[in-house]
A and B are shown apart, each in its own frame.
Chain A
Amino acid sequence: MRRNLLTAALSVLCLAAAPLQDAAAQDAIRIGVITDRTGNAAEFARIEEQGLELALKEINAKGGILGRKIQLLYEDDEDKPALSATKARKLSSAGVPIIIQLSSSTSTQQAEAATLETKTPHIGANQSADTLVTKLDNPYFFLAGMPGSIQFKTLIAYTQQRYKTAAIFTDTSAIAMFIAKTFRAGLEKSGVKIVAYEIIETGATDAVPQVQRIRQAKPDVVIDAGNLISESATFYRTYRQLGLTYPVIASYNKSIPRYLQLVPGLLNGVAFLDCFDQEKPETKAFIEKFKAEFKAEPFSLAGYGYNALWLVKDAMERAGSTDREKIRAALEGTKEFPSVLGAKGTVFSFSAKQRAGFPDKGAVIRLIENNQHGRAVFSGY
């Protein structure tokens, strides 16, 4: 009898609570997220989403935004530019006040057309193409990724201040060719002589001919502009196998820990570009919180998701509303936002003329030490 009474009481409570839960869910602010969970970059999307989810948990634990909980409404553009605009329109139609995009620059460029058309504030969380804020005059779009121009300025300054000659290694992917070409032009302009320019072919089992040519050229430094993971692994295996000891400077691609797992120990001493400075207090705190939440060491990609959602919170609270126009204006007014990204002492700011918020001198050069991403040794340019 008592058991029946208890069951009945619990049922009544549940029935009573259900509308409340529904009301809370309806009252929550839904933030749109375009990600690429099923494309070539799916592995990276998950890490960025983890950063986003950590920020979501923290923000909701502190009462949400404007006194309301927040929810994330995900759409997967599969890293296909053709799908990206459709996903942005879908999210706009669903009434989200703002969209965060975690997919590639080309996909984001397409989505921008839709957010301009629907007048939806749109944050590119992780992209690097400068053209995202120059190609289309879209006052609703804000780039929170580390722009390529800043990456190159930093890498070239670091190289030019230390070395007179360089060899460039790259692969046949479009991104790698672009990085290598930009490197070459920038280094030559700054007075560094390029003594070898080697390309490793897709599917190569080793890079013996290319590394031999680098050895013959006797450069002061080797610039790693590679992008394809297998080919990069092959290059480093051969580089160490043939006994080369020239210092290596690598692009942002080597900030992905996957390389450390594929060629353990072979990247020690490599200097690489990053947007993550472990000595920055905000970054340090983020790393600890991430480790506690996911039992894994984060790297810069996780910071992108985390950074974007906190930028949204900051803007919406200053806007005091979920109105898209007010949020856009508030984002544009973002000043000295203390981000987990960027070198120690640098902050994010947006303006009508500067819709890329990453700090101009925020990129850092870090060393790989003991097969781990180690200390930052240089920043700015």
Chain B
Amino acid sequence: MRDFLELIVSVGEAGSIYSLVALAYLVALRPTGVFNFGLGEWAGLGAFVGITFVVTLGLPYILALFPIIAIMAMVGYAAERLTVRPLIERDAPTLTPVLALLGVLVMTHEAIVFFFGTSNQYAPSPLGDGIVALGPFVGATQSFLIIAVTGGLFLGAWYFFERTVWGRAFEAVALDRFAAGVVGINLRITSALAFAASGAIAGLAGLLQSPLTSASYLMGLPLAIKGFSALVVGGMGRVEGAYFGGILLALLEKLVLRYAPIPAGFAIGVPLALLILFLLLRPNGLLPARTVR
């Protein structure tokens, strides 16, 4: 039983990180239809920017959060303004902005190497490196922080998209970009805000993960893959889908690695094989996107 409870905390922590990256994908994808595979690098950048403010400049974590999130939002905004928007306005094929964003991925990666180097860097946890017990659940303080922050953020995102006019505007653009423009929704602002939010969420994912793993210039790619997998599994249209997709992916990973009676090398690939099987049964993921009502 002790093992299982420890594993649940681990699933919550890893699943939350995957969910955050999936949400970052989703927020930019819905109004623009563009996949930004550079999000993993943005997560890595968020971790290093965090270390700069918290360790190098010595700002208290809570104060450092504002500039970190602002910088990451600006990175997202700049990517949209300089690559996505000009291409969409020129009626470029759907894949063209995706390719342009792959260029942004490479540039972000190289910028991380240039400014922060190839050495892993220690990232402190805002609550310290201790262990905490919440009832029968025991885990690192950072794990519980990740679970709590992610839960709060998803609740906020759900409220925004489901209950606010701006959220409805995002949804309308996602459903029919042309019609949304006709009824007066500002497509430029919607897309720019979506990418800014996407950058901020990705940066937050990296910031939250780094105390567990350290910050590394190589941390982006696994995050991009796991987040994208969570997005596809959850269904590419709903905030809740991104969350449950991440949790399901982490659950499969941890259960297989812990209990499957197969050699360790094979166990790593099994969760993804199971996900392929899952998608064959539910091609639209856990929670399919809404259609026009």
B263 and A230 within 8 A (CB): no
Minimum CB–CB distance from A180 to chain B (whole Å) comes to 10
B122 and A264 within 8 A (CB): yes
| B257 / chain A contacts, CB cutoff of 8 Å | 201, 209-210
- Which of the residues B3, B17, B216, B221 comes within 8 Å of A205, measured between beta carbons? B17
Say yes or no for B93: interface residue by CB 8 A criterion: no
| A261 / chain B contacts, CB cutoff of 8 Å | 122
Interface residues on A, range: 20 to 34
Say yes or no for B226: interface residue by CB 8 A criterion: yes
A209 and B213 within 8 A (CB): no
| B265 / chain A contacts, CB cutoff of 8 Å | 199
B213 and A205 within 8 A (CB): yes
Minimum CB–CB distance from B15 to chain A (whole Å) comes to 10
User: Which partner residue on chain A sits nearest B16 by CB separation?
Assistant: A205
Minimum CB–CB distance from B38 to chain A (whole Å) comes to 16
Q: How would residues 249 to 275 of chain A score, 1 for a CB under 8 Å from any chain B CB and 0 otherwise?
A: 000000000100111100000000000
Say yes or no for A241: interface residue by CB 8 A criterion: yes
Within 8 A of A (CB), among B202-232: 209, 212-214, 216, 218-219, 221-223, 225-226
- Which of the residues B3, B120, B268 comes within 8 Å of A262, measured between beta carbons? B120
Q: How would residues 167 to 194 of chain A score, 1 for a CB under 8 Å from any chain B CB and 0 otherwise?
A: 0000010000000000000000000000
A203 and B222 within 8 A (CB): yes
Say yes or no for B119: interface residue by CB 8 A criterion: yes
B119 and A43 within 8 A (CB): yes
- Contact A172 to B268, CB < 8 A, known contacts A205-B212, A242-B6: yes
Q: How many angstroms between the C-alpha atoms of A145 and B225 in the bound complex?
A: 38
Say yes or no for B279: interface residue by CB 8 A criterion: no
User: Which partner residue on chain B sits nearest A198 by CB separation?
Assistant: B264
| A118 / chain B contacts, CB cutoff of 8 Å | none
Within 8 A of B (CB), among A193-228: 197-199, 201-206, 208-210, 212-213, 216
Tally chain B residues at the interface, Cβ within 8 Å: 40
| A206 / chain B contacts, CB cutoff of 8 Å | 10, 13-14, 140, 143, 212
Q: How many angstroms between the C-alpha atoms of A333 and B14 in the bound complex?
A: 57
| B263 / chain A contacts, CB cutoff of 8 Å | 197
User: Which partner residue on chain B sits nearest A197 by CB separation?
Assistant: B264
Q: How many angstroms between the C-alpha atoms of A301 and B137 in the bound complex?
A: 43
| B167 / chain A contacts, CB cutoff of 8 Å | none
| A233 / chain B contacts, CB cutoff of 8 Å | 120, 213-214
| B131 / chain A contacts, CB cutoff of 8 Å | 241
- Majority secondary structure, B binding face: helix
- Contact A262 to B258, CB < 8 A, known contacts A197-B264, A241-B140: no
| B120 / chain A contacts, CB cutoff of 8 Å | 229-230, 233, 258, 262
- Majority secondary structure, A binding face: helix
- Contact A262 to B264, CB < 8 A, known contacts A210-B257, A212-B3: no
| B3 / chain A contacts, CB cutoff of 8 Å | 212, 216
Within 8 A of B (CB), among A284-334: none
A42 and B143 within 8 A (CB): no
| B13 / chain A contacts, CB cutoff of 8 Å | 205-206
B216 and A237 within 8 A (CB): no
Within 8 A of A (CB), among B174-225: 209, 212-214, 216, 218-219, 221-223, 225
Say yes or no for A40: interface residue by CB 8 A criterion: yes
Say yes or no for B100: interface residue by CB 8 A criterion: no
Minimum CB–CB distance from B262 to chain A (whole Å) comes to 12
Minimum CB–CB distance from B123 to chain A (whole Å) comes to 9
Q: How many angstroms between the C-alpha atoms of A166 and B6 in the bound complex?
A: 23
Q: How many angstroms between the C-alpha atoms of A29 and B9 in the bound complex?
A: 62
A203 and B7 within 8 A (CB): no
- Contact A208 to B10, CB < 8 A, known contacts A229-B120, A230-B218: yes
A234 and B212 within 8 A (CB): yes
B140 and A209 within 8 A (CB): no
Say yes or no for B254: interface residue by CB 8 A criterion: yes
Q: How many angstroms between the C-alpha atoms of A138 and B140 in the bound complex?
A: 53
User: Which partner residue on chain A sits nearest B140 by CB separation?
Assistant: A241
| B117 / chain A contacts, CB cutoff of 8 Å | 42-43
B216 and A230 within 8 A (CB): yes
Within 8 A of A (CB), among B243-267: 253-254, 257-258, 263-265, 267
Say yes or no for B288: interface residue by CB 8 A criterion: no
| B119 / chain A contacts, CB cutoff of 8 Å | 43, 258
- Contact A209 to B10, CB < 8 A, known contacts A229-B120, A230-B216, A241-B131: yes
Say yes or no for B33: interface residue by CB 8 A criterion: no
User: Which partner residue on chain A sits nearest B123 by CB separation?
Assistant: A262
- Which of the residues B7, B122, B218, B221 comes within 8 Å of A209, measured between beta carbons? B7
B7 and A208 within 8 A (CB): yes
B209 and A205 within 8 A (CB): yes
| A237 / chain B contacts, CB cutoff of 8 Å | 129, 140, 212
- Which of the residues B139, B219, B253 comes within 8 Å of A230, measured between beta carbons? B219
Minimum CB–CB distance from A106 to chain B (whole Å) comes to 18
B214 and A203 within 8 A (CB): no
Q: How many angstroms between the C-alpha atoms of A199 and B209 in the bound complex?
A: 20
Say yes or no for B118: interface residue by CB 8 A criterion: yes
Given A231-B213, A262-B122, A262-B214: 11 more A-B contacts, CB < 8 Å: A40-B118, A201-B253, A201-B257, A205-B17, A209-B257, A212-B3, A229-B216, A233-B214, A237-B129, A242-B6, A264-B122
In the complex, 29 of the A-B residue pairs with CB atoms within 8 angstroms, ordered by the A residue number, are: A40-B118, A42-B118, A43-B117, A43-B119, A198-B264, A199-B267, A201-B253, A201-B268, A203-B221, A204-B14, A204-B213, A205-B14, A206-B14, A208-B9, A209-B257, A212-B3, A212-B258, A213-B258, A229-B120, A229-B216, A230-B213, A230-B219, A234-B212, A237-B129, A241-B131, A258-B119, A262-B120, A262-B122, A262-B214
B residues adjacent to A (C-beta < 8 A): 3, 6-7, 9-10, 13-14, 17, 117-122, 129, 131, 139-140, 143, 209, 212-214, 216, 218-219, 221-223, 225-226, 253-254, 257-258, 263-265, 267-268
